[in-house]
Structure 1
Amino acid sequence: MKHSHILPLASCIFFLTLVILVQARHHSHHAKHKHSHPHKSSKTPKPAPPPSPPHNQNYNNASGIFDLRKFGAIGDGETDDTESFKMAWDSACQSESAVNVILVPQGFSFLVQSTIFTGPCQGVLELKVDGTLMPPDGPESWPKNNSRHQWLVFYRINGMSLEGSGLIDGRGEKWWDLPCKPHKGPHGTTLPGPCDSPIAIRFFMSSNLTVQGLRIKNSPQFHFRFDGCKNVHIESIYITAPKLSPNTDGIHIENTNDVKIYNSVISNGDDCVSIGSGCNDVDIKNITCGPGHGISIGSLGNHNSRACVSNIMVRDSFIKVTDNGVRIKTWQGGSGSVSGVTFSNIHMVSVRNPIIIDQFYCLTKECTNKSSAVSVSNIIYTNIKGTYDIRSPPMRFACSDSVPCTNLTLSDIELLPSQGDIVHDPFCWNAYGDLETLTIPPVSCLLESTPQLVLDYDITRC
């Protein structure tokens, strides 16, 4: 009896122990399975890296960058992108960033109508032309309500640079056949005609300007014009237009002071650089000029006006195959003065009039000698060498009967004919000056001292 009670009890204990062992084994297996990947379940997955930005994306999104294409410009050379350009300008002009860049991106051509971009602006502006800017193609494509005298005008801007690796294409070919100034008519006649064609780039009443590194070609008229400006720096630009393209001056300045034009190449159909009335403190250095009409001061005194030009330096330059080298030109009947001008270290190749003062400048045969003129005085020519076209004398000083040229100084002049061995004598008319060294060819026509007529002439009006 006693053993019969123990046996069932032992069986129950064995069965319970077996159940507990099985559950413990199952729990242990479940726990190992649950923590087999602890890091993946406990941390938030890292986001995928962003795609690499396209070319120039960082530049376009930087503070103070105003890309024309961000304002809706297409840049296919046919769509009118004027309004996009205006919006980009207005946004940059109103921006409070210290420097604001209006970007004409590389690889696109933007068609822009005649437009005036007006200041003053909040900060300094940079118009960075890495692509191409162009106007409508010729007079027939030019809107009738737009000015035909200018294309892009920058007005009342203080602090602006125009630069870039791109191109400004003036598309002037269809304009050049239009009458411009008095021009040749049938049977040798002379016909009047306005220059009704646009200047490519004009700065008006602006200051602290820089133009650098640009290429500009084929303007309908002047490529650059600066009116009423001060502190202008032009550096390393390249201007081209055909030799016979009319009135396509490279750079013209008028009533503009403190100008530096350096290290540039200008090849066109008129003056490489022309200096008008009201200019002073102008430094022109390392210019390659030609073909064209050379580097000119004037024309001054037209329509009996007063003209004042002073403190001009043209140096270290190369002039080739031009109608003139370094020229001063004034109209009869004007008043005022040109003074304090130095031309130095200039090499000439096949230039028709290497050194010329012309106080009888006239575009028709109807001009008459008058009793008043713009005074020309204190002009220095030094170290000017090279060759000249034998159609004209190498030096020509044609001065007014009423107001002679005075204080002309020549030194280290050596000009030889580009063809043959005939050496023309220099020409002088009412010109007073000195030779500091012997010149080739010899200059024996300059008059000495200063005439009383000039001493009595009031040049202080400038």
Structure 2
Amino acid sequence: MDKYGNIRRPVRCLFLLAMVAKSHAAVIDIKTKGATGDGNTDDGPAILAAWKEACEGASPSSVLIPPGTYMALSIVLAGPCKGPIEMQATGATVKAPPELAKFKTDTWISIQNLNMFTMTGGTFDGQGQQTWKSTKCHDSQMTCEIPVNFRLSHVKNSLFKDFTSANSKNFHIALWACDNCNFVNVTINAPENSVNTDGIHIARLNGLNITNSNIMTGDDCISFGDGSKNVYIEKVTCGPGHGISIGSLGKFPNEEPVQGIWIKNCTITGTTNGVRIKSWPASHPGIASDIHFEDIVMNKVGNPILIDQEYCPHDACKKSTPSKVKLSNVSFRKIRGTSTTKVAMKLACSAEAPCDNVEVADINLKVHGGGPASSKCSNVKPKVTGENVPQICPGGTY
């Protein structure tokens, strides 16, 4: 954020790039490579053949998945390519096989080592219903490799727009080392009872915009791992799911800092949490700073505002040992709506590394169904401005 309070967005010309690529691209239709589009035959080889030709051909190039229904086993769309490349799937539905046994990897569609890639349109259905019901897989992650719908690694300066990820067996979209990318008008859809279906998981990247998108899932709508830097999220609707989460942090040694996260003008509905930052007790040292939540509507949300540095699912950690993750320069501004829990704001910071420079301003949260909400704070002295309901940290930190 600059000295005037404006958000510094990554500088890029992706939309211009997309228009140039579309107007001059050599288009390779997957049906010319043998795709049947009958919804049962594996059309993955045809997609890969079209990709290979586009990637190796004169730039820019485009892979076309025309309208229809296709089935594909695991595919890898890999670069580097000779120039900008696009995958256009408007009107198409691509389905993964529902049987987990048909996967030998933890990824359905892998996109890797690309610069200036554009993906437009399409519905990508992971058909995860059978997998969510598998007690074997979700009781012990060592027993199965559960594929995410999309795994992106080392994809730079790229644009993803107007597409749907549905019913992933695991995370929908996992981003690793993907700098300066845009996600625009993305729909993520899985039922509330789906298991471990995080919408977008972010880690080890610098520069990401997610805008005008709708995420409905059974886990975090958006989750942040270590090394997430300069991420801007605006006009996203979230719910059902577990909300928008920074972390959990500190579980592993040598985690990279989380820095520069702006989440603004979003609506969260019917989720178990709203906006939260979480780290493990007895954690390894870590840093998370410059994290800002502003202009967010909560509709019947459990724990609308939450810092939880005692995060310990299934009681599988040492709660008595404080977290060593240091949180600083955090703000919650203009957050309003209804909470399904009485404690609408809880700032539970670490006794060993108390939170620094936390700002709370213009909060208006009430308990859904009536009755006053409350707030609790520990190991933090927030800067409180504006008019706030409930009263912020009555009695101070405890």
Relative to structure 1, is the Cα distance of residues 180 and 384 closer, same or farther in structure 2, using a 3 angstrom cutoff? farther
Alignment of 1:145-224 (within 5 A): 146-147=104-105, 149-164=106-121, 166-179=122-135, 192-194=140-142, 196-224=145-173
**Ranges in structure 1 where 5+ consecutive residues have no aligned partner:** 1-61, 184-190, 449-462
Map 1:10-159 → 2, pairs under 5 A: 64-97=26-59, 99-106=60-67, 108-130=68-90, 131-140=92-101, 142-143=102-103, 146-147=104-105, 149-159=106-116
TM-fit CA distance, 1:226? 0.7
Q: Report the AA paired with residue 132 of structure 2.
A: W
Structure 1 segment 1-16 matched on structure 2, within 5 A: none
Structure with the higher helix share, 1 or 2: 1
Matches for 1:273-288 after TM superposition, within 5 Å: 273-288=222-237
One-letter identity of the residue aligned with 2:294? S
| Fraction of identical pairs, as percent | 35
Q: Secondary structure at the match of 1:426?
A: strand
Q: In structure 1, what is the Cα distance between the partners aligned to 2:329 and 2:297? A: 22
1:168 is aligned with what amino acid?
F
Alpha-carbon deviations, 1:239-287, whole Å to 9, x = none? 1100011111111111011100000111111111111110111100001
How many Å separate the matches in 2 of 1:259 and 1:89?
25
2:199 is equivalent to residue 250 of structure 1: yes
**Cα displacement (A) at 1:117:** 1.9
**Aligned equivalent of 1:358:** 308
Q: Which stretches of structure 1, 4 residues or more, deviate above 4 A after TM superposition?
A: 191-195, 445-448
Structure-2 residue corresponding to 1:419: 369
Alpha-carbon offset, residue 234 of structure 1 = 0.4
Which residue is 1:385 aligned to? 336
Cα distance in structure 1, aligned partners of 2:136 and 2:280:
19
Partner of 2:264: 315
Let me know the Cα RMSD of the aligned residues.
1.9
1:404 aligned to which of 354, 358, 369? 354
Verify the 8 A CA contact 2:359 2:383 in the aligned structure 1.
yes
* TM-aligned CA deviation for residue 424 of structure 1: 3.4
2:280 maps to: 331
Q: CA deviation at 1:180?
A: 8.0
1:327 and 1:158 map into 2 onto residues whose CA distance is 32
TM-score by length of 2: 0.89
Q: Answer yes or no: is the 8 Å Cα contact 2:227–2:255 preserved in 1.
A: no
TM-score of the superposition, structure 1-length normalised? 0.77
Per-residue CA deviations over 1:68-104 (Å, capped at 9, x if unaligned) read 101011111111112111111100000112x211111
Distance 2:289 2:266 in 1: 21
| 1:238 counterpart residue number | 187
Larger radius of gyration: 1
Offset at 1:192? 4.6
Superposition deviation, residue 371 in structure 1: 5.0
Which consecutive unaligned segments of at least 5 residues does structure 2 have? Answer: 1-23
Amino acid at match of 1:83: P
Partner-residue secondary structure (3-state), 1:342: strand
**How far apart in 2 are the matches of 1:366 and 1:135?**
34
Cα gap change, 1:345 to 1:371, in 2 (>3 Å): closer
**Which of 275, 298, 310 is equivalent to 1:348?**
298
Q: Tell me: higher relative CO, structure 1 or 2? Use CA pairs within 8 A at least 6 residues apart.
A: 2
Per-residue deviation, residues 388-439 of structure 1 (Å, max 9, x unmatched): 103x510011111211112110111000111122x23212121221101231
3-state SS of 2:50 partner: helix
Distance 1:360 1:375 in 2: 13
Contact kept in structure 2, 1:307 and 1:374, CA below 8 Å: no
